[in-house]
Structure 1
Amino acid sequence: MLLALALLSAIAPLAIDMYLPGLPALGDDLGTSTQSVQLTLTTFMAGLGIGQLVVGPLSDGWGRRKLLLAGAATFAVSGALCALAPSAEVLIGARLLQGLSGGAAIVLARAVIADRATGETAAKLFSVMMIIGGVAPVVAPLLGGALLDPVGWRGIFWVLTGAGVVMVVGILTLIPETLPPERRHGGGLAALAHNMRYVLGNRRYVGYALTFMFGFGALFSYISASPFVIQEVLGLSPGQFSVVFGVNSIGIVAGSIVNTRLIGRFRARQLLTFGVAMLLVAGLALLAEVTVGGAHTVVVLPLLFAVTTSIGFVMGNATALGQSQVSEAAGTGSALMGAGQFGLAAVISPLVGGSAAQMATGIVACAVIAMAALQLLGRPEEQSTPESTAARSA
């Protein structure tokens, strides 16, 4: 079940990273501008955010499984639409639909874990899910680069269609309903408004959610700009870019593995603070290198690896700590974190462009805000009773 949930969460990096090596070819084939090509990424990220914001609260009243099935089936259909798109406008619309359905998969996978576990157990499960799901961003650019010549960018979207079909099969065979009727809050706007007030009224949830969102924002500053920075600024080939991107994705997996092993020896809050501090230091060093040092490949690439490795300490811990604060509305809590995560990514994508300095500035700005949000929560020993109680009961 955990493997199936990880694969559901991995669908977003698959749909993002697999077609990155083909962005220049996509623009040439459809006869469109670089800005229009980047819109296919921006609309996908916007769809991920909106999909989570809608489906997460609905699942608190309707249950998780049937919405998971609907989202997976829609993802498969939208992949086929992307593969057949005759113009950039059609592709942008299909990518929006693909993002909406992918958002449903992500938010519900997190909600299923929140239904089953809390506290340190949840932190471990979220970290393990990141390890399993972390294989996707490692494999995706390599697979995309390998597929680009023989099947083209359209063939890559057919592969994503197949991934959607696999998702449907996995849900049918491995994932049961985890929210029984007696724990559901009912539907309607009144219930939705109540859950939103409950979640947003929890100061600690908001703090952890902001840390989570801007940690991902730093990561997406790298993801969005790296195809242009690594190939055009550093001068690496598309194949070399795929390798670099894969190695940096391994950094996320490595950070998650270490984080999982350290949970129990250290509190999740301590590990989260370490991750954000590492992200900030690496981002500042990267900004100094690309603005003053001359953007040398041998310096930039290790710093990017440090940036991605720090994310392995941020995402799982921030998710578990935030969700533990709002366990009575796990779907809504997951939805707001996810909507903020990918909504912020959609804003960041056009801002960082293809400049190394803009990429590094985006990483630093997001790291500073993540650290500020974490510090506003107060000292670790001042954490609220519900969080510590959840960890003990788990």
Structure 2
Amino acid sequence: MLALTSIWTTILLAAAVALGPLATDMYLPALPAMGDALSAGPDQIQLTLSLYMAGFAVAQLFCGPLADRFGRKPVMIFGLLLFFLASIGCALATNVESLMTFRFLQALGGSAGPVLGRAAIRDIYTPREAARIMAILASIMALAPAVAPTLGGLLLSGFGWSAIFVALGGYALVVILLIAFGIPEPMAPGNRQSLRLGNLACNYRRIGTDPSFIGYTLTNAFAFAGLFAFLSGSSFVLIDFLGIAPDHFGLYFACMVAGYIIGNLTAVRLGRRLVPDQILLRGLLISVAGGSIMASLAMTGVYSVWAVMIPQTLFMVGVGMTLPQTMSGALANFPTMAGSASALFGFIQMAVAACVGALVGHLYTGTSLIMASVIAVCAVAALAAYLLLVQRYPAPGFEPAEAGK
């Protein structure tokens, strides 16, 4: 077994957390082809993405309390096993309705990785240390979405869209073995919580009414929703509208992921001299700039791959700086119920993202205008949540020293 504070433990947790972006990003190049194969329109195929996010959101509300009661490892292993079985079901789907069903089940299991990965980091580290570790973890796990669309495009070209889900199932099995035999249980026995309904309701009420938690969670949710708007619309915009080849989609997608990694690494470097909320504000301003540029270009009729990808990459630099700070800040006040706090955080994040993704699919008009406009609005909403809530109710140790006087 590895030490909990080992970098290899962080890498294993990143592998579990990466299951979420892998399940969304790997099949993006296949969305148009899946629509053709299953006789489904863009709105129905995009709904498989939003349903996944909805299932992901709901499952976390149960996953977190179960992990607070029984520990992180057993719940994570059970969830990943369900993800494996549902992935095989997706691969065997013969119509869009059955694909939607298995995608929802896939989400129920896949939620265990991210929600319990965040909780484990909070178990192991203090809030300020956790912000730095989450930025490192995010940089590591960003390698998954960087290669996922390219790998998905290759699998699509060589074996068809079903092979993408077989590969996802195989990845889940590997992660199960690594988690089971690679790391000890990170949760202290004394922090176990009761599963009684009254206790759960009390815990969620306490978490959900904490103004600091609300501020960081909404800031995160809107920033993540901007990313999800791109995930939901990019394959149709880049492949169908702008005409890039499906197997080249991953190369353009990697540009966006590179921006995210740059943001993560910038946050780690700035963390040596700035507190998390100062890093957070800088990231939000960068995201607003990227989203606004993309929307402005689309509104003036400038349609090209780079009119989408350059602003989106800038947007992702800001997101890479923003997400680790908000994750750690939201969990800072709840060391003894990190699973439940992480669950509610993830539920709100995924619920907002699912609604935004469905909106992009419903309003899609065949150009990049809707996607770009939604990304810009999400960036502005994230900045507003920060200014109205986070600045007034910062997490302990996250605010500049003079702000606490």
Q: Please give the TM-score of this superposition, normalised by the length of structure 2.
A: 0.92
Deviation digits for residues 4-56 of structure 1 (CA, Å, limit 9, x no counterpart):
11011100111111111111221222222222212211111111111112111
Please say if 1:124 is aligned against 2:132: yes
Counterpart residue number, 1:360: 372
Counterpart residue number, 1:17: 25
Equivalent positions of 1:301-316 (< 5 A) are: 301-316=309-324
Q: Secondary structure at the match of 2:336?
A: helix
C-alpha separation between the residues in 2 aligned to 1:149 and 1:296?
25
Which of 204, 211, 216 is the aligned partner of 2:219?
211
Which of 234, 238, 247 is the aligned partner of 1:239?
247
Q: Which amino acid aligns with 1:365?
A: V
Q: Secondary structure at the match of 1:337?
A: helix
Please say if 1:344 is aligned against 2:352: yes
Deviation digits for residues 174-204 of structure 1 (CA, Å, limit 9, x no counterpart):
2321223321121111111111111112101
Q: Which amino acid aligns with 2:106?
A: Q
Which of 148, 156, 168 is the aligned partner of 1:140?
148
2:275 and 2:397 in contact (8 A); partners too: no
Offset of residue 388 of structure 1? 7.0
Offset of residue 285 of structure 1? 1.3
Please say if 1:69 is aligned against 2:81: no
C-alpha separation between the residues in 1 aligned to 2:395 and 2:212?
8
Which of 42, 46, 52 is the aligned partner of 2:50?
42
1:211 and 1:374 in contact (8 A); partners too: yes
The structure with more helix, counted as a fraction of residues: 1
CA distance change for structure 1 residues 116 and 268 in 2, over 3 Å: closer, same or farther?
A: same
C-alpha separation between the residues in 2 aligned to 1:89 and 1:152?
19
Q: Which amino acid aligns with 2:373?
A: T
Please say if 1:282 is aligned against 2:294: no
C-alpha separation between the residues in 2 aligned to 1:383 and 1:216?
20
Equivalent positions of 1:192-341 (< 5 A) are: 192-341=200-349
Deviation digits for residues 134-165 of structure 1 (CA, Å, limit 9, x no counterpart):
00110000000111121111111110110110
Stretches of 4+ aligned residues off by more than 4 angstroms: 384-389
Residue ranges of structure 1 left out of the alignment (5+ in a row): 390-394
Equivalent positions of 1:367-386 (< 5 A) are: 367-377=379-389, 379=391, 383=394, 385=396
CA distance change for structure 1 residues 27 and 101 in 2, over 3 Å: closer, same or farther?
A: same
Counterpart residue number, 2:190: 182
Q: Which amino acid aligns with 2:131?
A: A
Offset of residue 232 of structure 1? 2.9
C-alpha separation between the residues in 1 aligned to 2:399 and 2:296?
40
Counterpart residue number, 1:392: none
Q: Which amino acid aligns with 1:163?
A: Y
CA distance change for structure 1 residues 149 and 297 in 2, over 3 Å: closer, same or farther?
A: closer
Q: Please give the TM-score of this superposition, normalised by the length of structure 1.
A: 0.94
More displaced 10-residue stretch of structure 1: 178-187 or 13-22: 178-187
Please say if 1:159 is aligned against 2:167: yes
CA distance change for structure 1 residues 385 and 231 in 2, over 3 Å: closer, same or farther?
A: closer
C-alpha separation between the residues in 2 aligned to 1:300 and 1:349?
17
| Aligned Cα root-mean-square deviation (Å) | 1.8
Counterpart residue number, 2:41: 33
More displaced 10-residue stretch of structure 1: 357-366 or 29-38: 29-38
Deviation digits for residues 304-333 of structure 1 (CA, Å, limit 9, x no counterpart):
111112111011011111111222321111
1:127 and 1:257 in contact (8 A); partners too: yes
C-alpha separation between the residues in 2 aligned to 1:384 and 1:48?
26
CA distance change for structure 1 residues 378 and 347 in 2, over 3 Å: closer, same or farther?
A: closer
More displaced 10-residue stretch of structure 1: 351-360 or 257-266: 351-360
C-alpha separation between the residues in 2 aligned to 1:130 and 1:378?
22
C-alpha separation between the residues in 1 aligned to 2:374 and 2:46?
17
1:221 and 1:363 in contact (8 A); partners too: yes
| Number of aligned positions between the proteins | 388
Residue ranges of structure 2 left out of the alignment (5+ in a row): 1-8, 401-405
Percent identity of equivalent pairs: 35
Offset of residue 299 of structure 1? 3.2
Counterpart residue number, 2:99: 91
C-alpha separation between the residues in 2 aligned to 1:298 and 1:70?
42
C-alpha separation between the residues in 2 aligned to 1:378 and 1:60?
26
Q: Which amino acid aligns with 1:175?
A: I
Q: Secondary structure at the match of 1:309?
A: helix
